[in-house]
Amino acid sequence: MSDKQLAAQAAADLIPTGACVGLGTGSTADCFIEALARRVQQDNLMVTVVASSVISQINAERAGLSIVGLDTLNRLDVYVDGADEIDPDLTVLKGRGQDLVKEKLLAKAAKEFWIIADAGKQVGFLGENFPIAVEVMPYSLKLARQKLADLDVKAELRKQPDGGNVFITSAGNLVLDVRLPSSDAGLWARRLALVPGVVEHGIFHQLVNRALLASGGDLRTLYPEAETFAANSTDDGSTDGD
């Protein structure tokens, strides 16, 4: 069993019967889908799932999971997904795929957001290995790029892997891959959200409730410090800084 399979299995083992579970997107999320389906089959676990992408929905259907549409949700107990990077405060970076908007929506909507990953995803600061994905509306591209330049943020329009056409998200938007001038993830989560035309960005700040990280067959579970969430509380009860 690989490290990401170990982390995925550990998360699946924690899902209670009757839960509504959000499914992330990517190879690690696929491992979780497989592990959750095994629990349904072997332990008679009763769950419903909602997918963050078409590919996750297809994989869930193939695995025999009971799927509900995002538009029908009135509650989401837990959202489980992988991450591109995880910093010491459990702020995570996502957005290498096409489904950033749905992933962030589910992470915010869920009572709990769990990250599953191999320990190699841990970094000293967000953006250490990958640029930050910033999803923008096509007609606001020029305005967004200028505002980012004003903030001393370097932005490059993402293209398809073959270097030809521009990259289009599942929501029909463009992606700017940006390099930030400082490592304060919370500050940039707020600043990027205020840039004109930005639909969403890849900084998942103060959203993770639990991170299951595997390394060499060993599993560790990390939790955010209580003051991390308290420091970002607002009058309306929100705990997300972006």
Tens of pLDDT along 167-217?
Answer: 999 999 999 999 999 999 999 999 999 999 999 999 999 999 999 999 999
Instruction: Give the residue among 156, 151, 182 at the shortest CA–CA distance from 167.
Output: 156
What pLDDT is recorded for position 97? 82
What are all long-range contacts of 11-16, with beta carbons under 8 Å and residues at least 24 apart? Answer: 11/35, 11/80, 11/114, 11/116, 11/212, 12/36, 12/38, 12/39, 13/39, 14/114, 15/39, 15/45, 15/47, 15/78, 16/77
Distance between CA atoms of residues 123 and 100, nearest Å: 20
CATH code of residue 115: 3.40.50.1360
pLDDT band at 226 (very low <50, low <70, confident <90, very high): low
Contact 196, 143 (CB under 8 A): yes
Specify if 219 maps to a domain.
Answer: yes
Based on the fold, state whether residues 12 and 38 are members of the same structural domain: yes
22 and 118 in a single domain? The answer is yes
Segments forming the whole domain that contains residue 170? 132-201
Q: Same structural domain for residues 64 and 98?
A: yes
The answer, yes or no, to whether residue 242 has pLDDT greater than 70, is no
Is there a domain that residue 236 lies in?
no
Residues 27, 42 within the same domain = yes
Do residue 119 and residue 64 come from a single domain? Answer: yes
Give a yes or no: residue 32 inside a domain: yes
Q: Are residues 55 and 171 in the same domain?
A: no
| Residue with token string 């595997």 | 214
What is the spatial distance between Cα 109 and Cα 103, in angstroms, rounded to a whole number?
10
Let me know whether 196 and 223 are in one domain: no
DSSP per residue over 162-189, as a string? TSSSBP--TTS-EEEEEE-SS--HHHHH
Does residue 29 belong to any structural domain of this protein?
yes
Report if residue 238 sits inside a domain. no
The mean of the pLDDT values for the chain is 92
pLDDT tens readout for residues 128-164: 999 999 999 999 999 999 999 999 999 999 998 887 7
Q: Is 103 a catalytic residue?
A: yes
Q: Looking at the DSSP assignment, which residues form a beta bridge with residue 82?
A: none
Within its chain, how far is the Cα of 75 from the centroid? 18
**For position 141, which CATH number holds?**
3.30.70.260
Q: Are residues 15 and 102 in the same domain?
A: yes
In a domain, 79, yes or no: yes
For residues 28 and 98, membership in a common domain is answered with yes
Which residues, in sequence order, are CB contacts of 185 under 8 Å at separation 6+? 87, 89, 91, 125, 126, 203, 205
Count of the separate structural domains present in the chain: 2
Q: Specify whether 75 is located in the same domain as 104.
A: yes
Judge contact between 97 and 193, C-beta under 8 A.
no
Q: Which strands sit side by side in the sheet containing 92-93, from one edge to the other? A: 85-86, 92-93, 203-204
Report yes or no on 239 lying in a domain: no
- 150 and 80 belong to one structural domain: no
Catalytic entry in 34, 61, 85, 103? 103
Nearest-angstrom CA–CA distance, 234 and 203: 19
Backbone conformation region of residue 187, classed left if phi is above 0, alpha if psi is from -120 to 50, else beta: alpha
Residues 87 and 181 occupy one common structural domain: no
Report pTM: 0.90
